[in-house]
Amino acid sequence: MEKQQEEIIALTEQFVADLFQNDASGHDWWHIHRVRNLAKQMAAEEPGPVNAFVCEMAALLHDVPDDKLVKNAAEGEKRLMDWLNQFSLPKEIQEQILFIVLNLSYKGGTNKVQLDSIEGMLVQDADRLDAIGAIGIARTMAFSGSRGRLIHDPSKKPRESMSYEEYRSGDDTAIMHFYEKLLKLKDTMNTQTGKVFAQRRHEYMETFLEEFYLEWDGLR
């Protein structure tokens, strides 16, 4: 990686750390840090070349335009564009980063854009891996609490075939979120390394849910 690229990454790291340092929804700086590290680790295991700069920049910036964290998507996209535009990046590099960041989100399963670059697939897998397993469970509880949602309500059932608006409506619980999103993520992995990581984390969540229901019913 060129020295100028290393400097841009260092500045971007600080920008994102400042932006998300006070987040209590599970989308804090440490989430970004884990996604970046996962993407780098998986990149080292994937065959073929990977543009390390594009991969790391997309990982660092992936939550900047997320509509869970900004007032509206346009505001988030402007913040992202303003940040990238201050650097003299080649047009194709900037476009690659933008395309990954703007098309990464799960969006309740309604996002049909396929990330076909290895950099995009790695960052998307890394982001989704951080939503499952032990970390995913902790983040789900943190996010639900930050939005005033219950942990569990047996009268509420997981929703299927939701629109994006319904998915974002908040009419769910932490446990419902497992069935509406988390347990589906294993089968969305793009890379072979992501699939291996996801299988272990998926099994951990299944074990957690088994124990949760036993404790909920006072059987253990």
Q: In CATH, what number is assigned to the domain containing residue 54?
A: 1.10.3210.50
170-217 pLDDT, tens per residue?
Answer: 688 999 999 999 999 999 999 999 999 999 999 999 999 999 999 999
Q: Is 94 helix (H, G, I), strand (E, B) or coil?
A: helix
- Give me the pLDDT at residue 104, please: 92
155-182 residues labelled b (16+ CB within 10 A) or e (exposed): eeeeeeebeeeebeeeebbbbbbbebbb
- Tokens 């335009």 correspond to 65
CA–CA dist 190, 187 (Å, integer): 9
- Could you give the 3-state DSSP secondary structure of residue 218? coil
Task: Give the pair of three-digit tokens for residue 126.
Answer: 């890394």
pLDDT at 82: 94
> How confident is the model at residue 73, as a pLDDT?
77
pLDDT tens digits, 78-116: 999 999 999 989 999 999 999 999 999 887 677 778 899
Model pLDDT for residues 152-180, shown as the tens digit of each residue: 999 999 988 777 777 767 688 999 999 99
pLDDT at 144: 94
Number of structural domains found in the chain: 1
Interval 12-25 mean pLDDT = 92
pLDDT more than 70, % of the chain: 96
> What residue numbers bound the domain in which 12 lies?
3-216
Q: Which of 26, 21, 22 lies closest to 138, judged by CA? A: 26
Compute how many other C-beta atoms are within 10 angstroms of the C-beta atom of residue 95.
12
Q: How far apart are CA 59 and CA 89, in angstroms?
A: 17
Q: Which residue has the tokens 């309604």?
A: 110
Token pair of 34 as six digits: 């884990």
The confidence score (pLDDT) of residue 138 equals 97
Q: Which sign, positive or negative, has the C-alpha torsion 118, 58, 131, 168?
A: negative
